[in-house]
Amino acid sequence: MPKRLMINHGRVIASLSNFASPASADKLSRGKQFYYFCNHGERKVFLIMEGDFIVRSENGSKIINIVSAPHVIGVLPSIDPPPIWLEKVDHGRIDAIEYNKFWRIVHQKELRSDVMDIISSYHSDLLSYLQIASPDSEEYTLNLIRKWNSFPCHIKERFSLLFFLTNSSFLSKSTASRTLKKLKDEGVIKLDKGRLSTMPKFTV
């Protein structure tokens, strides 16, 4: 995340933290904690105070992004809640604030500029995500690896590249494994115990 955008997120969180409450997981499954942007008719904005969270789509539970603290998510103006949900990675601290209350306080504290920058980053992320798609499985895989390479080192060390590929696309495990092997054999990427290490011929 660019330093300026990190400042935007941090300033909004600092200004609204006293008005938010610790978020309780909306679902627990196999030790994982999930958080929904709307529950029982109440729409929420999440303030990620500590840790990392996977952003997954409602369609297929695919990974859209992985965000790290400080991060504000769920502020995009829309008629309906965003069709995504959050999954906590290992540990983390996340607060929630009701959507309309969030915007009311944003106006009161004159945080509109910060929030507009955050919304602008949402659109940039969405455009980047849309550009990943390709009818060619190898090119599609390369685009996904480019995205994976942009994540912080501790995230890339936490998950295998194959996990990311199969959880962020509709590629089958066999197709992803076959493409990874081809790229590895050609020296395009290097893997260490399934984790992406170096990419001598890989342009990001």
pLDDT tens string 147-173: 999 899 999 999 999 999 999 998 899
202 has a pLDDT exceeding 50: no
Of residues 194 and 131, more confidently modeled? 194
Give 203's pLDDT tier (boundaries 50, 70, 90). Answer: very low
DSSP the chain: --HHHHHHHHHHHHHHGGG-EEPPPSEEETTEEEEESEETTEEEEEEEEEEEEEEEETTTT-EEEEEESSEEES----SS--SEEEEEEEEEEEEEEEHHHHHHHHHHTT-HHHHHHHHHHHHHHHHHHHTT--SSHHHHHHHHHHHHHTS-HHHHHHS-HHHHHHHHSS--HHHHHHHHHHHHHTTS--EETTEE---TT---
The pTM of the full predicted model, rounded to 2 decimals, is 0.89
d(CA 180, CA 185): 8
Kindly state the average pLDDT of the residues 172-194.
Answer: 91
Following CA atoms 28, 34, 36, 42 in sequence, which dihedral angle do they give, to the nearest 10 degrees? Answer: 50
Asked whether 162 and 180 are in contact (CB, 8 A), the reply is: yes
pLDDT on residue 199: 58
Mean pLDDT for the chain overall: 91
Confidence of residue 82 (pLDDT cuts 50, 70, 90): confident
- For 107-139, the pLDDT digits (tens) are 999 999 999 999 999 888 888 878 888 888 888
Residue 66 has pLDDT above 90, yes or no: yes
